């Protein structure tokens, strides 16, 4: 029997939840507010929270200095492209590990996950040289492949977890009805794992969108995404906090909007199979 929650306890829990949420979201809120400040007020001490002269000039200056739309298109193409390419590889890999496991399947999964613990700078030089040799430096294709590879272990791990929750008897029934491997994956397994696949896609897009190390080191102009767009406002002449905040707001706005509208699907997928 569940324990009754008093109105006082509910109010306290709600207040604590809102306090934690505000604390977590405060850096984003401060960045957005700073983007509407004149530069002198953006660096004022003590900081000015609300009583400042609101302006959109920073956004105009940012757009005049760098074409936002070009960086935005690069981010969309690279993040979505790396996600789709990762799914093409990860779905069959996760299927085989979940339903046809070998003696070393768990060791292989742990090895793939361990590659995420390696510092990216440790492989920067060889990848940079490979990109120069193959002509992939500052190209969308090259950056898409790199982001797919660095996020592939997470995609496989998440899909493997979701696939393990699907009863093998369903796949056996499909095989008895004459389904081949292709039909089994496309028409039986994939539809049943839609919540897990959707959350995997959303998480990978967020990871690819926010990746800065590889995007800054492997691009210059043509394939530079929004992370490079933000970095461009840090110059030897100094940091212009208002313009930098405007650039940051323009870069994070699309992913924040997507996350807001897809949060239910994301939570549902991340908790898929957790409660039986």
124-167 pLDDT tens trace:
899 999 999 999 999 999 999 999 999 999 899 888 888 888 77
The reported pLDDT for the residue numbered 239 is 62
Average pLDDT score over residue span 105-121: 86
Supply the pTM of this predicted model: 0.80
pLDDT at 261 over 80: no
In the chain, what is the straight-line distance between the N-terminal and C-terminal CA atoms, in Å? Answer: 18
> CB-based contacts of 81: which residues, under 8 Å, 6+ apart?
140, 144, 148
Average pLDDT score over residue span 93-100: 85
In whole angstroms, give the CA distance from residue 153 to residue 82: 13
pLDDT band (50, 70, 90) for residue 241? confident
The reported pLDDT for the residue numbered 267 is 66
Q: Among residues 105, 95, 112, 271, which one has the least CA distance to residue 183?
A: 95
Average pLDDT score over residue span 168-173: 78
What are the CB-based long-range contacts (under 8 Å, 24+) for 124-128? 124/217, 127/218, 128/217, 128/218
pLDDT at 274 over 60: no
DSSP 123: G
**Comparison of pLDDT for 54 and 190, the residue scoring more:** 54
> CB-based contacts of 157: which residues, under 8 Å, 6+ apart?
109, 112, 113
Indicate left, alpha or beta for 159 from its phi (over 0: left) and psi (-120 to 50: alpha). Answer: alpha
In whole angstroms, give the CA distance from residue 84 to residue 152: 11
In whole angstroms, give the CA distance from residue 57 to residue 164: 53
pLDDT at 276 over 50: no
């Amino acid at each position: 029997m569940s324990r009754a929650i008093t109105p006082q306890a509910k109010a306290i829990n709600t207040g604590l939840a809102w306090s934690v949420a505000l604390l977590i979201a405060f850096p984003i809120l401060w960045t957005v507010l700073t983007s509407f400040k004149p530069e002198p007020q953006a660096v004022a001490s003590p900081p000015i929270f609300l009583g400042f002269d609101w302006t959109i000039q920073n956004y105009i200056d940012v757009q005049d200095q760098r074409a936002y739309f070009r960086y935005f298109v690069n981010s969309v193409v690279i993040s979505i492209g790396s996600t789709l390419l990762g799914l093409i590889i990860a779905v069959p890999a996760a299927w085989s590990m979940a339903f046809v496991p070998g003696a070393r399947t768990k060791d292989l999964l742990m090895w793939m996950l361990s590659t995420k613990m390696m510092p990216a700078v440790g492989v920067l030089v060889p990848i940079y040289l490979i990109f120069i040799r193959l002509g992939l430096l500052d190209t969308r294709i090259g950056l898409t492949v790199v982001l797919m590879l660095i996020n592939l272990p997470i995609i496989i791990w998440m899909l493997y977890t979701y696939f393990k929750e699907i009863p093998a008897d369903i796949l056996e029934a499909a095989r008895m009805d004459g389904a081949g491997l292709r039909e089994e994956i496309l028409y039986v397994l994939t539809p049943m794992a839609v919540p897990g696949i959707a959350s995997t896609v959303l998480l990978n897009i967020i990871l690819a969108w926010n990746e800065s190390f590889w995007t800054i080191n492997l691009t210059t102009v043509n394939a530079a995404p929004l992370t490079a767009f933000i970095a461009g406002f840090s110059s030897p002449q100094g940091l212009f906090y208002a313009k930098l905040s405007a650039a940051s707001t323009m870069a994070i706005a699309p992913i924040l909007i997507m996350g807001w509208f897809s949060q239910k699907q994301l939570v549902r997928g991340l908790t898929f199979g957790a409660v039986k």
